[in-house]
């Protein structure tokens, strides 16, 4: 039967080879090597680095379990014995553990010969590239009647031995964007001959924050954030270009569209008032993760009594499992792990004992 110590070793192998969106070839190879002896599994998708395994031993509908598999372009700083061997990349979001848990669940299902119909998806490119919608758009799920979908995400907000979830909105809607402000270069001594792109950008940001505060009440959760600003070349030259790299977050699709409209309308106004040009580029965006209320209630009832359940609030993090929650009754839960660092920290390292907890939860779902 599935041995936890063996799974811990699998996790270490995965942790050593973090790979970013659609390049998870070594990760894919490890998965396939671990599962190659299970002839009851059938590969239904190999696109390009993701894998969908089908296990059909029952009657009726299927259950879908999904694990994301990509790493992040962050240099690891944990000093663990199985530290990343890929310079400049690490599993700072714990997807190595997500993959390990799903491998462990598959081994349990096959070795127990459960009379179930189950799909197991190892999904690439969750970190900002929308791997979920890529997989869905292949049409691979159209032949299946899926009654429920499950996923999880590790967190250092709760200790090992706990899980967190809520019915309804679990994770919000992220919308990434770039804004380019095109002005005209000139010497600072003769500002009338230039058009300051940086000044226009600051005006845009200030007015945007004011408009959002005025438009939406305090009880409507919204975040608008500029994480990176690039502008200028020399201290005494008016910058002819400024670039914002940012994101906003909200909970409702209609609010997302309103914010985009406000950005575009304000851009036209700033173009006129500052005599510049503005280009807004909308990048990756995910659907909200919405936990089905009935399925969540059943999930909680089936959770082993020795695992503490924490009733969480919604989170503004983005997760492309939201595309699955649009299609099927679904549950995504936080998996607690003892770690003093937060997600995406270069020191984030998941406690391997959390693998045990997740497997107990998933096994009970299948009973």
Catalytic, 68? Answer yes
Catalytic, 127? Answer yes
CB under 8 Å to 269, separation ≥6 — which residues?
207
**Which residue out of 126, 127, 196, 319 is catalytically annotated?**
127
Question: Distance between CA 271 and CA 225 in Å, rounded?
Answer: 21
Rg (CA), the chain: 23
**Which residue out of 54, 68, 126, 352 is catalytically annotated?**
68
Place of tokens 């020795």: 306
Q: What six digits make up the tokens of 150?
A: 């499950």
Backbone φ and ψ for 205, nearest 5 degrees, come out as: -65, -45
- Positions marked active-site: 68, 127
């Amino acid at each position: 039967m599935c041995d936890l110590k063996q799974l811990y070793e699998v996790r270490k192998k995965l942790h050593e080879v973090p790979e970013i969106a659609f390049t998870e070839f070594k990760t894919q190879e490890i998965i396939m090597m671990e599962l190659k002896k299970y002839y009851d599994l059938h590969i239904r998708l190999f696109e390009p680095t993701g894998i969908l395994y089908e296990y059909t031993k029952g009657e009726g509908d299927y259950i879908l379990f999904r694990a994301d598999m990509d790493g992040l372009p962050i240099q690891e700083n944990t000093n663990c014995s199985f530290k990343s061997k890929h310079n400049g990349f690490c599993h700072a979001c714990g997807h190595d553990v997500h993959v390990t848990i799903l491998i462990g669940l598959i081994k349990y299902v096959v070795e127990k010969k459960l009379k179930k119909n189950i799909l197991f998806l190892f999904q690439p490119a969750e970190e900002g590239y929308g791997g979920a919608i890529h997989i869905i758009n292949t049409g691979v799920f159209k032949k299946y009647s899926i009654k429920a979908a499950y996923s999880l995400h590790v967190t250092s907000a709760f200790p090992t031995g706990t899980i967190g979830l809520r019915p309804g909105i679990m994770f919000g809607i992220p919308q990434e964007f770039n804004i380019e402000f095109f002005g005209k270069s000139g010497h600072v001594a003769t500002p009338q001959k230039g058009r300051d792109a940086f000044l226009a950008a600051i005006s845009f940001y200030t007015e945007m924050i004011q408009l959002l505060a005025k438009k939406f009440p305090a009880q409507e959760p919204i975040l608008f954030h500029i994480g990176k600003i690039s502008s200028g070349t020399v201290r005494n030259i008016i910058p002819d270009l400024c670039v914002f790299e940012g994101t906003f977050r909200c909970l409702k699709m209609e609010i997302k569209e309103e914010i985009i409209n406000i950005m575009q309308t304000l851009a036209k106004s700033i173009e006129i008032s500052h005599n510049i040009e503005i280009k807004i580029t909308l990048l990756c965006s995910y659907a909200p993760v919405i936990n089905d209320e009935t399925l969540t209630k059943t999930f909680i009832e089936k959770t082993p009594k020795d695992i503490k359940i924490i009733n969480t609030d919604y989170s503004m993090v983005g997760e492309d499992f939201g595309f699955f929650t649009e299609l099927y009754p679904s549950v995504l839960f936080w998996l607690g792990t003892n770690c003093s660092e937060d997600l995406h920290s270069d020191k984030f390292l998941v406690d391997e004992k959390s693998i045990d907890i997740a497997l107990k939860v998933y096994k009970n779902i299948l009973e």
